[in-house]
Structure 1
Amino acid sequence: MASRTEPGLSAAHWTLPAVRSGRILSIDAMRALTVLVMVMVNEWSAVAGLPQWMGHMPADVDAMTFVDAVLPSFLFIVGMSIPFALQQRFKAGDSGWQVQGHVLLRAAGLVLIGFFMVNGGGGFHAPSMVLPVELWNLLCYAAAFLLWGSLTGGANLALPWRVGGLLLFAALAWMYRGGADGQGGMTPQWWGILGLIGWAYLIACLAYQAVRGHKLGLLACIAACTAYFVALRLPGVAASPALSGFFSADGHFVHASIALCGALTSMIFFDESQSLSRRRRFAWALGLALLLALAAAALRPEFKISKIYATPSWALYSAAASVLIFAMLYQWMDVMGRPLLTALLAPVAANPLLAYLLPFVIGLLMQLFAWQWPLMLRSGGIGILFGAAYSVLISLLVKQLASRGVRLSI
């Protein structure tokens, strides 16, 4: 029987530092909390009369709110998971090429869903659409479930269903009508949240493996991603169509820098190739947070804080905050052994994609049948409380679906 590893890119040659095995409660908790906060702030976006600190800051304002740090928090936790996911793949006997294929397919899946979501949210010409846009969007989620869903809690749906999912995506792309006159097709636009996460995940995975997970190498990759953003703003680069095109993925590299900060944080806390005391690991984490904040402050005069423009000052400040938040969760949950709403967070931690997409599906069904939330839930303090309660309801719904074997995972 042929070996599953291949010369030159086998698990033996593709050496990565060993990280702690088993689930880590604080990583799960941070993932779940981030998704639930995403759900909450998305609900808040429809609430009238919110104070400014509970919404996104305008693109040209040199400031950020906690809402602007939600996407970075998810990018950070995606990066934290990279060392564990890659280790698990190699331990299972996958060759280097197989691991790269898995990384590429996972990134492509996120980009694909994000691509369809962003086109379903804008850029379409409603009078020319073959289907009502609400139904078109719902079928996009149905296609995603056919490709990556499960009704047994285990393996994905059988191959014919997955082929059907691909064909449904292709049919939906053919039916799409975009542009001012309905003559255009689908366009990347800004890729959507999941698309941005997919690109950042791909870049961060490749960078992590390129430096073999070494901490200084990861720090250098973070600096390189920041330098990539800066390069596009240099006069010589901006004046050259070839160079400006090469550096045009600046936002993706900034997002990847946040994911790499997460990977570096995992290596600080969970790298088993070095025997360090817990106190030392916390000290390194605090040092990383301080370094990121100082780098953000140094860049801020030239590159203002902006989530919309994905500036490095925004990214590094957000990553610094994520390091500190994770360190506190780790101390509370894993070191002190104190659970944090595990019954509420565990289902979301295990099914983050399902939890993230469910509110969109519910919203589309409400639009399709012309249902609306009562007006009192869309204004003032009651609207704020409803947004928080809605995220809890989504968590409970995910728990019920998961208990019945429903899963969605790329």
Structure 2
Amino acid sequence: MQNSNPPSLRLDSIDVFRALTMFLMIFVNDLWTLEDIPGWLLHSKAAEDAMGLSDVVFPGFLFIVGLSIPFAIANRKKKGDSDRTIVMHIAERTFALLLMGVFIVNLENAMDPGMVISKDVWGILMVVAFFLIWNVYPSNPDKKLFYNGLKIAGYLLLIGLAVLYKGGTPENPSGMGTRWYGILGLIGWSYLLCALTYFFTRDKLLFAITGWLFFVLFNLADFAGLLDFLDPVKRYVWIVGSGSMPAFGMAGVVASVVYRHYMKQTGISQTYLLILIALGAVCLFYGFGTRPFWGISKIRATPAWVGICSGISYFAFAALFWLVDLKKTKKWAEVLAPAGTATLTCYLVPYIWYAVITILDISLPMYLRTGVVGLIKSACFSLLVIILTGLINRLGVRLKI
């Protein structure tokens, strides 16, 4: 039976998809604390032709970033933002993600005995600085100067941490550096490319598909050796992940543009569901079709990894669209809601958690960190982080970039 009303602009399934992905991201990021767990949950090694659950989560998140872009830009236009304001917002958001990504990567490479403060204290202060800078402060003109002062204090704290930083090894110490940009940095570069692509093409479906195919084929061409002539510039200017990362984002953009393109038509809901399934099937066909050439590898960002994970993302979104937006069954996801609306806060909370328990020398007994019991522990930890994020939000503290 077809819907008599056209679908709304708002897709609740996007928030639910984001929340579920964040739950899984925190879960798989906690697996390093466990022992004796199934290999299919972990990241596969670069030389392996394989893919674990941990290799699927990040592509899913990039897909969601792309899903959100058309709606976010449309909402800004509806509020009256000029094109210049929107481009500035895209640039500011990219800068924030890159800056946080660089600091987090350096935290992972910090030399604990080599700094004036411990690595864990350095990490806590880093997260505090992030909150000072990008917290959503109340709209109170009387306190605007105070809130701006807190943001400046955050930047000054980051500068101080950069000065104190020592990384590497005692034999080969190093200061702050870009190294790689970390998860947040990869999201930042991908967001920039996808957001600008959509900004200049808007809801023109053909252009959205063309942009998606460009990144997919760029990745394929790199593995096929067709881009070897660009090796001299590769170390200076290159598309992140050889096109793989923005390919995931543009796959999400295409999904949203399709919806927005047909949203005024009666009965689009069922048709849209079929389109998502068809796109997922095409991606899987591409992924398994290229697997014999370079295998599946997240670390190497192979075409097969791009295709298979894009297909999984399309199928997952189709299932959630059917369940949440068509069947209106979403009460089950309420406990995960903070992860879908305060995603950055949720991502940073574990950094505070791990640092505090290390400083206090708190650890669970091994039987709680082994096998099935350990997996239950990590799932509970993920849920706890989301609940803590909700409590932090209620206190008026929430990151937004």
Quick check: TM above 0.5? Answer: yes
SS at match of 2:45: coil
Q: Contact 1:232 / 1:248 at 8 angstroms: preserved in 2?
A: no
Deviation at 1:237, TM superposition (A): 4.1
> 1:55–1:67: 8 Å Cα contact kept in structure 2?
yes
Deviation at 1:273, TM superposition (A): 6.4
Partner residue in 2 for 1:347: 338
Match of 2:385 among 366, 382, 394: 394
Question: Aligned partners of 2:240 and 2:220: how far apart in 1?
Answer: 8
Residue 74 (structure 1) aligns with: 61
2:265 equivalent in structure 1: 275
Counterpart position of 2:290: 299
- Report the equivalent of 1:356: 347
Kept in 1, the 8 Å contact 2:137–2:147? The answer is no
* Structure with the largest fraction of helix: 2
> How many residues in Structure 1 have an aligned counterpart in Structure 2?
391
2:156 equivalent to 1:167: yes
Cα pair distance change 1:211/1:348, threshold 3 Å: same
Match among 211, 215, 218 for residue 221 of structure 1: 211
Q: Which amino acid aligns with 1:316?
A: G
Tell me the equivalent position of 2:178: 188
CA 232–331 in structure 1, closer or farther in 2 if over 3 Å, else same: closer
CA distance in 2, matches of 1:290, 1:113: 36
Match runs of 1:9-408 below 5 Å: 23-122=10-109, 124-150=110-136, 158-180=147-169, 181=171, 183-233=173-223, 235=225, 237-238=227-228, 241-245=231-235, 248-251=238-241, 253-272=243-262, 275=265, 277-408=268-399
CA distance in 2 between partners of 1:70 and 1:289 (Å): 16
* Counterpart residue type for residue 374 of structure 1: P
Contact 1:56 1:67 in 2 (8 A): yes
Distance change >3 Å, CA 212–CA 379, structure 1 → 2: same
What is the CA deviation profile of residues 196-219 of structure 1, one whole-angstrom value per residue up to 9, with x for unaligned ones? 111111111111223323222222
Following superposition, the deviation at residue 233 of structure 1 comes to 4.4
CA contact (8 A) 1:76 1:260 kept: yes
2:205 and 2:261 in contact (8 A); partners too: no
What are the superposed Cα offsets for residues 222-266 of structure 1, whole Å, 9 maximum, x if unpaired? Answer: 221123234444657435543434664340631111011111111
Cα RMSD of the aligned pairs, angstroms, is: 2.4
In structure 2, runs of 5+ residues without a counterpart are 1-5
Name the CA shift for 1:65/1:241 in 2 (closer, same or farther; >3 Å). closer
Q: Scaled by the length of structure 1, what TM-score is found?
A: 0.88
* Deviation for aligned residue 1:375: 2.1
Contact 2:298/2:305, CA 8 A, preserved across alignment? yes
Q: Is 2:223–2:302's contact at 8 Å kept on the other side of the alignment?
A: no
Contact 2:23 2:386 in 1 (8 A): yes
Q: TM-score, normalised by structure 2?
A: 0.90
Once the two structures are TM-superposed, the CA of residue 128 in structure 1 deviates from its matched residue by: 2.2
Moved more, 127-136 or 173-182: 173-182
Q: How far does residue 272 in structure 1 lie from its aligned partner after superposition? A: 4.9
Partners in 1 of 2:85 and 2:386 — Cα distance?
A: 34
Q: Displacement of 1:21 after TM fit?
A: 5.8
Tell me how far apart the structure 2 counterparts of residues 376 and 270 of structure 1 sit (CA, whole Å): 50
- Displacement after TM superposition at 1:68 (Å): 0.9
Seen in structure 2, the aligned counterparts of structure 1 residues 316 and 340 have a Cα distance that, compared at 3 Å, is farther
The answer on whether the counterparts of 1:237 and 1:244 sit within 8 Å (CA) in structure 2 is: no
3-state DSSP class of the match of 2:305? helix
| Secondary structure in 1 matching 2:292 | coil
* 8 Å contact from structure 2 (residues 69, 253) kept in 1: yes
Which runs of 5 or more structure 1 residues have no equivalent in the other structure? 1-18
Kept in 2: contact 1:269–1:282 (CA 8 A): no
Q: Give the Å deviation of 1:118.
A: 0.9
Aligned-residue sequence identity (percent) comes to: 31
1:398, CA displacement in angstroms? 1.7
Deviations 1:23-51 (A, max 9, x none): 42211111101001111112222210011
> Secondary structure at 2:378's aligned position in 1?
helix
Amino acid at match of 2:258: I
Q: Is the 1:228–1:250 contact (alpha carbons within 8 Å) kept by the matching residues of 2?
A: no
Matched AA of 2:128: A
